[in-house]
Amino acid sequence: MTRLVIVGGGHAAAQLAASLAEKQFPGSIVLVSDEPEIPYHRPPLSKTLIKDPEAPLPELRGASFYEQAGITLKLGTRALAIDRAGKRLRLSSVAGQEDLPYDHLVLATGACVRELPQAPVGTPGVHYLRTYAQARALRDALPGARRVVVLGGGFIGLEIAATARHLGKEVTVFESMPRLLTRSVSPEISSFLLETHRGAGVDIRLGSTVDGLEMARGRAVGVVSGGAVVPADIIIAGIGATPNVDLARDAGLACDNGIVVDATLATGDPAISAIGDCTSFPHPAWPQPLRLESVQNANDQARTLAARLCGDPQPYTAVPWFWSDQGEARLQITGLWRPGYESIVRPAARGNGFSVLHFEGDALRAIESVNSPVDQMTARKLMQAGLSPAKGTAADPAVPLKA
């Protein structure tokens, strides 16, 4: 019987386990996670969970699912090293160390927060948000805070800023780049989000770097920027994430902004695959390897790998899509925007939403939608089928998007 071991407790790991169970994988499955909680939804951490003291752990699947599927969970267990020659995984938990044999190993190790050099995780007054434990710590701290400073104008930083502002906090966001989400969205969406957050009362400072932290009795009580101190009851660092590749790199696997995999999500070792936020993978719609941090990518890569492990190998070609809830604005993105595309703004047929469609020639490469789900879903279906709507009428909400 094939012994399959999955390292990771996020969306990719949980979806792989579920997909293998659905396909009746002919072997044993062990899921190893260094977090003590059962795999859970990550998106609610920056929204519902930090503002609702009664919000429970948002489990992806209940414990009964894993039990009924015959999947062994090793929670609160850290993977220390891979013995590729012996096909064994060295583990550490409160019970001690052990070696776990495998026939096939899947690395779904995800990513970890990028830490401030002067304020590593655990610094009093500074919060990071990647795990359930970190979300609970932030939730417990927010009620007693009046002034919140967010470092980073990315998705997580802006979502937290919107949530904190909704709770009545004074919120200041520092972003070092000249616009929000510079690498992720078009200038049109950046401008809209800037106006939206500022309209809600969030103080967003673009092109502003933080020179250091103001400390008092071992606790961060403000940030220093341009020689001035901005006081803060809570500082939230949302300055990005880095892929967890140490386990793979120490085992001699190729890593380059992620664990390098081929189109079928295989590493250079035929007995080891990798999926999710930790992977650097080729994609037919992009000229260089990608590393994506999204639930869609994690889930779709898991399904693709499950098919290969069950005898149906196929390349990973799913069209990327993302979403982000920032106050009353629901942003949905399909495809990947990049400079040089021709951009067309399309108002929503109803309401005050809109979409920005990005074309390369006559081919639709990406669509960004704000409170415009119909256009977003229609365009997504077209792109997944390899089709594009007519560019000449794309700006007219009275004309449906169709090939």
The pLDDT tens digits of the residues spanning 235-248 come to 999 999 999 999 99
Domain membership of residue 152 (yes or no) is yes
Q: Per the domain annotation, does 332 fall within a domain?
A: no
Q: Please provide the average confidence, as pLDDT, over all residues in the chain.
A: 96
Same domain, yes or no: 284 and 356: no
Q: What is the CATH number of the domain that holds 207?
A: 3.50.50.60
297 and 363, same structural domain? no
pLDDT number for residue 351: 83
In this structure, are residues 235 and 224 in contact, taking their beta carbons and an 8 Å threshold? no
Q: What share of the chain in percent tops pLDDT 70?
A: 100
| 281 close to 316: Cβ distance less than 8 angstroms | yes
- Is the Cβ–Cβ distance between 208 and 172 less than 8 Å? no
Q: Quick check: 373 pLDDT over 90?
A: yes
Is residue 322 domain-resident? no
**268: Cβ contacts below 8 Å, ≥ 6 apart:** 253, 254, 260
Regarding whether 246 and 230 lie in a shared domain, the answer is no
pLDDT tens column, 196-215 = 999 999 999 999 999 999 99
Same domain, 145 and 233: yes
Is there a domain that residue 403 lies in?
A: no
> What residue type is assigned to position 241 of the chain?
A
Q: What pLDDT, on the 0 to 100 scale, is given for residue 255?
A: 98
258 with 359, same domain: the answer is no
What secondary structure, in 3-state letters, does 287-308 show?
CCCECCCCHHHHHHHHHHHHHH
Contacts for 110 with CB less than 8 Å, ≥ 6 apart: 8, 10, 12, 243, 244, 276, 277, 278
Domain assignment of residue 201, given as a range: 115-237
Regarding pTM above 0.75, the answer is yes
Which residue type sits at 174?
F
Bridge partners, 359 (sequence order):
342, 364
Last residue in a domain, options 237, 264, 293: 237
Question: 294 in a domain, yes or no?
Answer: yes
> Quick one: DSSP state of residue 40?
B
Q: Give CA–CA dist 157/398, Å, rounded.
A: 36
In a shared domain, residues 47 and 125: no
Say if residue 54 is in the same domain as residue 11: yes
pLDDT digits (tens, 9 = 90+) for 46-60: 988 998 888 999 999
Supply the pLDDT for residue 47: 87
- Comparing 137 with 349, the larger pLDDT belongs to 137
Q: Binning pLDDT at 50, 70 and 90, where does residue 287 land?
A: confident
Q: What does the pLDDT average to over 55-71? A: 96
Over range 306-335, report the average pLDDT. Answer: 95
Q: Are residues 86 and 140 in the same domain?
A: no
Domain end (from 177, 205, 237): 237
Among candidate residues 211, 237, 263, the one where a domain is terminated: 237
Q: Tally the domains of the chain.
A: 3
**pLDDT value at residue 285:** 82
Examine the domain organization and report whether 225 and 299 are in the same domain: no
Which of 1, 4, 18, 25 shows the shortest CA–CA distance to 100? 4
Assess if residue 80 is contained within a domain.
Answer: yes
In this predicted structure, what is the pLDDT of residue 1?
67
What tens digit of pLDDT does each residue of 335-365 get? 999 999 999 999 998 888 999 999 999 999 9
Q: Are residues 305 and 162 in the same domain?
A: no
With respect to residue 331, please indicate whether it lies within any of the assigned structural domains: no
Residues 229 and 132 in one domain: yes
Residue 24 included in any domain? yes
Q: DSSP string of 205-257? A: EET----EEEEETTEEEEEEETTEEEE-SEEEE---EEE--HHHHHTT--BSS
If asked whether residues 266 and 361 sit together in one domain, one would say: no
